[in-house]
Chains A and B, each alone.
Chain A
Amino acid sequence: MIYFFRALSAEQLKLKRSLAMWMVLIAPLAVCFLYLMIMLKTPESYYGPSAWEGEIKSILSMWSVMMLPLYITLETALTANSEHNNQIWKYLYALPIPRWSIFSAKWVMNLFLVLSSSVVCFILTIGAGIVMRYVFPETGFVHNFPWTYALTVNGKVFLASLFIISIHTWISLNWKNIIIAIGSGMVAAVGNLTIMMSEKWGAIFPWTLPFYAYAVEDVNLIQIYAIALGGSLLFAIFGSFWLSKKQIF
């Protein structure tokens, strides 16, 4: 266990001055800023009492369907590439540490990066609503912020995204070529748009789980979490095992 914490603390230092660190802010900012622009253009859609719920849901759908999968793809690719590009593996694997510690620390750090950006997205959602409240006092944003609802749906999206994080952590660490990491993420994100429509596949396809977890009526939530969490854990163990066996040419 000590090896895991050591590796985690090393991972944290590696993020210093990295693009991966900036992406934590940039990705949610892009989504929330875009949505704020839309709201400023069409304030009349937010006159009702459920203005907050509408906003939360809309931002979250942009986030969970498009931005989050791409963001996970990019972050895992960036953190893995700092090892690939700088020829670190041959040094890292010749250090007196168990190899699983490297993978598990990377995995936890990727979870943390996704969680951080989800928190930023949450805060910016509130921020955008407050801007609306001042610019258009006649909209429903004068009502209290629905904390319980907001926290629940955001939490669901994050939990349901754990599977994708595990898959991409493995893909990006296993293949040196960043095209494979980015390409697979882009294909999946585009696939999302069609698979989303199918009730049957949408509830089991790893990339559509975040959307299904909060936005689709009468889905089997237990099944979604079982797939997301179970898949995530199994895949993380598989990835750790796989990468420990890897030869470094």
Chain B
Amino acid sequence: MENHHEWIIQTNQLSRNFGKVSAVNRINLEVPAGSVYGFLGPNGAGKTTTIRMLLGLIHPTFGSIKMFGHDLEPQNWQYLKQIGTMVESPSLYPNLTGRENMEVTRRLIGLPKSNIDMALDNVNMLQAANRLVKEYSMGMRQRLGLALALINQPTLLILDEPTNGLDPAGIQEMRDMIRELPKKNGVTVFLSSHLLSEVEQTASHIGIIHEGHMLFQGSLENLRSERNPILHLGSDHPERAAELLKQSGWKVRQNGKPGLLVEVNGNSDVAFINRKLNQANINVFQLTVQQPSLEDTFLQLTTIKK
């Protein structure tokens, strides 16, 4: 653990309930300056709720937030000067052109005109800027949304599922843009996604949230080293095998195929499992140990049933 870090975002026991639903439960985010922080979790994990609290759009039920080292207080909006956001979907007026949409924000926060072209250029939208937004494709809207987030030259960019609704080429393009940002202007990026594969090429740090709880937080390397190998097990009675292994405390997942995936610690575990199944008259015909992909790790973490 590095002993000194400048956290751009730091939360302490941050929680938010909606009635009885605990959407975010005592999470301690630590987002280092200059990082691309991938905030991961399946649908309903609490990502958007967390982001809304960071932006002051909703209040925490419990816990506190530090942005740029200062405690967040209600009605204080000064810290937002350094932030650019896109939450869930871009916020655009369809009756205006792309450029006019930028102009609305420019007027609101009183920026020089040159910021508009700079931001549009950053997302390759200069060409289409004079067309009406209602004629835009999903990808163009998403890019204009990103331009709106960049208009004030923020030092922290908070993006909630920025690749929502994009095609594979669009996703790749968005990824490249996000990856370039910290290098170009020293921007810290906090972005949420429900796919690890989507951020593993961009992110330097990862936080995994599931049902409001933080399951993992650290660098990508940490996540890589933290996982157990996976045993791919083929047998003639997969259901019985699964039952048996679960009873003795192994983490077993069905793989869609008749095969099973078992989380193991090493080869001795594999030999042990083989022996156990043979004793129960189950014929084993495949035993392969694999380092899981990051996606597997993510699934492992987020499919644990209580």
Our verdict on whether A and B bind, yes or no, reads yes
List the interface of chain A (C-beta within 8 A of B): 2, 6-7, 9-10, 13-14, 16-18, 82, 86-99, 244, 247-249
- CB-based contact B55/A17 at 8 Å: no
**Choice from B81, B86, B91, B100 contacting A88 with Cβ under 8 Å:** B91
Chain B contacts of A18 at CB under 8 A?
95
Within 8 A of A (CB), among B131-156: 132, 148, 152
B89 interface residue (CB < 8 Å to A): yes
- CB-based contact B152/A94 at 8 Å: no
* Given A93-B56, A94-B80: A10 and B91 interface contact (C-beta under 8 Å): no
Chain A contacts of B89 at CB under 8 A?
87
How far is it, in angstroms, between the C-alpha of A13 and the C-alpha of B92 when the chains are bound? 13
- CB-based contact B58/A249 at 8 Å: yes
Q: 5 closest A-B pairs (Cβ-Cβ)?
A: A91-B91, A96-B80, A96-B81, A248-B57, A94-B55
Chain B contacts of A89 at CB under 8 A?
91
Chain A contacts of B87 at CB under 8 A?
90-91, 94
- CB-based contact A6/B110 at 8 Å: yes
- CB-based contact B57/A90 at 8 Å: yes
How far is it, in angstroms, between the C-alpha of A13 and the C-alpha of B96 when the chains are bound? 8
How far is it, in angstroms, between the C-alpha of A128 and the C-alpha of B93 when the chains are bound? 37
B217 interface residue (CB < 8 Å to A): no
How far is it, in angstroms, between the C-alpha of A135 and the C-alpha of B103 when the chains are bound? 49
Chain A contacts of B58 at CB under 8 A?
247-249
B83 interface residue (CB < 8 Å to A): yes
Task: Name the residue in A88, A95, A247 with the highest tally of chain B Cβ atoms < 10 Å from its Cβ.
Answer: A95
Task: Name the residue in B59, B77, B78, B94 with the highest tally of chain A Cβ atoms < 10 Å from its Cβ.
Answer: B77
Chain B contacts of A244 at CB under 8 A?
75
B244 interface residue (CB < 8 Å to A): no
- CB-based contact A248/B52 at 8 Å: yes
Sample (19) of A-B pairs whose CB atoms are under 8 Å apart: A2-B110, A9-B107, A10-B104, A13-B103, A16-B100, A90-B52, A91-B86, A91-B91, A91-B148, A93-B56, A94-B57, A94-B83, A95-B77, A95-B80, A96-B77, A96-B80, A98-B77, A99-B77, A248-B57
* Given A16-B100, A90-B87: A6 and B59 interface contact (C-beta under 8 Å): no
Q: Who on chain A is nearest to B79 by CB?
A: A96
Q: Chain A's nearest CB lies how many Å from the CB of B71?
A: 17
Q: Who on chain B is nearest to A85 by CB?
A: B94
How far is it, in angstroms, between the C-alpha of A17 and the C-alpha of B132 when the chains are bound? 10
Chain B contacts of A247 at CB under 8 A?
57-59
Chain A contacts of B85 at CB under 8 A?
91, 94
Q: Chain A's nearest CB lies how many Å from the CB of B192?
A: 14
5 more CB-based (< 8 A) A-B contacts, given A91-B85, A95-B109:
A14-B93, A90-B55, A94-B87, A96-B83, A96-B109
Chain A contacts of B80 at CB under 8 A?
94-96
* Given A91-B87, A98-B77: A6 and B109 interface contact (C-beta under 8 Å): yes
**Choice from A16, A82, A86, A97 contacting B108 with Cβ under 8 Å:** A97
- CB-based contact A96/B152 at 8 Å: yes
Q: Chain A's nearest CB lies how many Å from the CB of B157?
A: 12
Q: Who on chain A is nearest to B74 by CB?
A: A245
- CB-based contact B96/A14 at 8 Å: yes
* Given A13-B104, A87-B88, A96-B152: A249 and B52 interface contact (C-beta under 8 Å): yes
- CB-based contact B92/A86 at 8 Å: yes
Q: Who on chain B is nearest to A12 by CB?
A: B107
How far is it, in angstroms, between the C-alpha of A42 and the C-alpha of B59 when the chains are bound? 64
- CB-based contact A6/B108 at 8 Å: yes
How far is it, in angstroms, between the C-alpha of A91 and the C-alpha of B147 when the chains are bound? 13
How far is it, in angstroms, between the C-alpha of A50 and the C-alpha of B191 when the chains are bound? 71
- CB-based contact B104/A14 at 8 Å: yes
Contact with A along B53-85 (1 / 0, CB 8 A): 001111100000000000000010111110101
Chain B contacts of A82 at CB under 8 A?
93, 95
- CB-based contact B77/A17 at 8 Å: no
Q: Chain A's nearest CB lies how many Å from the CB of B57?
A: 4
Q: Chain B's nearest CB lies how many Å from the CB of A24?
A: 15
Task: Name the residue in A13, A18, A82 with the highest tally of chain B Cβ atoms < 10 Å from its Cβ.
Answer: A13
How far is it, in angstroms, between the C-alpha of A8 and the C-alpha of B81 when the chains are bound? 20
- CB-based contact A16/B91 at 8 Å: no
Q: Who on chain B is nearest to A99 by CB?
A: B77
Chain B contacts of A14 at CB under 8 A?
93, 95-96, 104
**Choice from B59, B79, B91, B132 contacting A92 with Cβ under 8 Å:** B91
How far is it, in angstroms, between the C-alpha of A244 and the C-alpha of B83 when the chains are bound? 20
How far is it, in angstroms, between the C-alpha of A247 and the C-alpha of B59 when the chains are bound? 7
Chain B contacts of A88 at CB under 8 A?
91, 93
Chain A contacts of B83 at CB under 8 A?
94, 96
- CB-based contact B56/A16 at 8 Å: no
* Given A86-B94, A96-B77: A10 and B88 interface contact (C-beta under 8 Å): no
B105 interface residue (CB < 8 Å to A): yes
How far is it, in angstroms, between the C-alpha of A18 and the C-alpha of B94 when the chains are bound? 10
Q: Who on chain B is nearest to A7 by CB?
A: B108
Chain A contacts of B100 at CB under 8 A?
13, 16
How far is it, in angstroms, between the C-alpha of A91 and the C-alpha of B57 when the chains are bound? 9
- CB-based contact A16/B95 at 8 Å: yes
